[in-house]
Structure 1
Amino acid sequence: MHITAAGRTDVGVIRSGNEDSYLMVPDRGIFVVADGMGGHAAGEVASEMAVRYVARELDSLRGLGDEQVAERMRVAIRTANGAIFQRTLTEHDKRGMGTTVTALTLFETRFLIGQVGDSRAYLLRDNRLSQLTKDHSYVQEQVDAGYLTPEQARTHPYSNVITRCVGANSEVMPDIYVGTVKPRDVFL
């Protein structure tokens, strides 16, 4: 499998600081994106910790099957969660920090995504763009329950309120998505 990768973050027009982090290890098929939160540079710390911990835990996946890779991904994200949560307990200025995490690993002819929060993963295949992950957000829960339509969710005032993140609690449960990689697939 040939992998070409590129990455970039942008502060945007609303915020004064960038709390995003990403890490790519293309030769090992590891890609991690995190969007931190927490103010006073805490979000930046949380997102940087998350990408580092997750990438380290996913370092060697050769010869593992889907279930083993899925368990490794869960452990990776939980390890990052534990480290970030512990730091919020010991450093007063880091209280309230957390981050989203979306991690993609490519192995054999498969892909696996571990996700917490609302940083989405997409797949562009055969000129069709598909959202692979589901947001852990208030509005997504309202859509799932039938209280909001997807159209209403797009403009809802609480559209940026997430219901799950890495570092906010002592435990976190990442969602796992698995699929087959095809030639010319593009992951975003």
Structure 2
Amino acid sequence: MDFIVAMHTDKGIKKNTNQDSLFVKVANTSQGKVAFSVVCDGMGGLSKGELASATVLTAFSNWFTGSFSHILNSDFSDEDIKTQWHNLVIRESNRIMEYGQRNGVSLGTTATVLLIAKGRYYIMNIGDSRAYEIGDRVSQITKDQTFVAREIERGNMTPEQAKSDPRRSVLLQCVGASKVIEPDFFVGEAKKNVVYMLCSDGFRHEITESEILRYLNKDVLLDETSMKDNACYLVELNKQRMELDNISVTLIRTF
């Protein structure tokens, strides 16, 4: 499997800082090419959210170039990836919480992580950043760990009610601000000729799934330039529609 990738981020029209952290990488290995991406959204209402998101991002980047490179040549299992990622986020969450306690500040971050290796995808999610698979339609892989998503699942709220509920931004957990971290994991077959997208919540509030499909489908994303241009276009469209949050997206196009 081969990949082309792109990413784009913008602080948006209101905030003075960008508390999102993101990367996307492709590596040539003895087991074929692998792709890896992370999106972390530092808590907008908490001080030093950018420090929290950057801390988690750096930890996963180091994992990719360190621990993962060591296990790649072994016959690793799905559980091996889950265990290493779970241990990593617990360690980093404790570090961030200890930093906050020492300095009298509150900080935290979401974390959405995607690895494509050996024909499979591995996704971890904490918070409300998202992972999507874009083929003939836009399919959300992750589930938001938010108050309103939980209430919708329980039948206590409709999606329309959730859009205007004042608690729509309340997270059930995040890295660095929750004493107990329970990530969601998703594992499946990685498909050729689709687009895998990670995004912070600011990317998806003001645009529709039909717009995402129109500008980020496999037939229009043919090279890095078109991927970057279309990602930028949708970010600017969010801003034109008065999205106030930081806006971030990473794209992996498979072949």
- Tell me by how many angstroms 1:40 deviates: 7.6
Instruction: Measure, in 2, the Cα distance between the counterparts of 1:118 and 1:40.
Output: 16
Measured against aligned partners, the alpha-carbon deviations of 1:79-122 in whole angstroms (never above 9, x if no partner) come to 22122122112222xx2100000011111000011110000111
Q: Assess, with a 3 A threshold, how the Cα gap between structure 1 residues 39 and 142 changes in structure 2: closer, same or farther.
A: closer
Measured against aligned partners, the alpha-carbon deviations of 1:133-186 in whole angstroms (never above 9, x if no partner) come to 111111111111111012221222221111110001343111101111111121
Contact 1:36–1:97 under 8 Å retained in 2:
yes
Which of 26, 51, 54 is residue 57 of structure 2 equivalent to? 51
- Tell me by how many angstroms 1:39 deviates: 5.7
Q: What's the TM-score, normalizing by structure 1?
A: 0.91
1:144 aligns with 2:153: yes
In the alignment, which residue of structure 2 is the partner of 1:25?
25
Structure 1 runs of 4+ aligned residues shifted over 6 Å read: none
In the alignment, which residue of structure 1 is the partner of 2:168?
159
Instruction: Among all aligned residue pairs of Structure 1 and Structure 2, give the percentage whose two residues are the same amino acid.
Output: 32
Q: What's the TM-score, normalizing by structure 2?
A: 0.68
**Which letter does structure 2 place at the counterpart of 1:22?**
L
In the alignment, which residue of structure 2 is the partner of 1:118?
128
In the alignment, which residue of structure 1 is the partner of 2:95?
83
Q: Assess, with a 3 A threshold, how the Cα gap between structure 1 residues 36 and 8 changes in structure 2: closer, same or farther.
A: same
Q: Pick 1 or 2: higher relative contact order, CA cutoff 8 A, min separation 6.
A: 2
Contact 1:23–1:52 under 8 Å retained in 2:
no
Instruction: Measure, in 2, the Cα distance between the counterparts of 1:40 and 1:139.
Output: 20
Aligned length: 185
1:128 aligns with 2:112: no
Deviates more, 1:133-142 or 1:31-40: 31-40
Classify the secondary structure of the residue corresponding to 1:164: coil
In the alignment, which residue of structure 2 is the partner of 1:99?
109
Instruction: Measure, in 1, the Cα distance between the counterparts of 2:37 and 2:7.
Output: 10
Q: Assess, with a 3 A threshold, how the Cα gap between structure 1 residues 71 and 40 changes in structure 2: closer, same or farther.
A: closer
Measured against aligned partners, the alpha-carbon deviations of 1:13-50 in whole angstroms (never above 9, x if no partner) come to 23222100012222142211000026685001000001
| RMSD (Å), alpha carbons | 1.7
Instruction: Measure, in 2, the Cα distance between the counterparts of 1:140 and 1:39.
Output: 20
Instruction: Measure, in 1, the Cα distance between the counterparts of 2:46 and 2:146.
Output: 24
Classify the secondary structure of the residue corresponding to 1:70: helix
Q: Assess, with a 3 A threshold, how the Cα gap between structure 1 residues 76 and 25 changes in structure 2: closer, same or farther.
A: farther
- 5+ residue gaps, structure 1, are none
Instruction: Measure, in 1, the Cα distance between the counterparts of 2:116 and 2:143.
Output: 20
Instruction: Measure, in 2, the Cα distance between the counterparts of 1:66 and 1:21.
Output: 26
Instruction: Measure, in 1, the Cα distance between the counterparts of 2:84 and 2:3.
Output: 22
Classify the secondary structure of the residue corresponding to 2:7: coil
Classify the secondary structure of the residue corresponding to 2:42: strand
Which of 29, 37, 41 is residue 35 of structure 1 equivalent to? 41
- Tell me by how many angstroms 1:76 deviates: 2.3
Instruction: Measure, in 2, the Cα distance between the counterparts of 1:112 and 1:90.
Output: 35
Q: Assess, with a 3 A threshold, how the Cα gap between structure 1 residues 6 and 82 changes in structure 2: closer, same or farther.
A: same
Classify the secondary structure of the residue corresponding to 1:64: coil
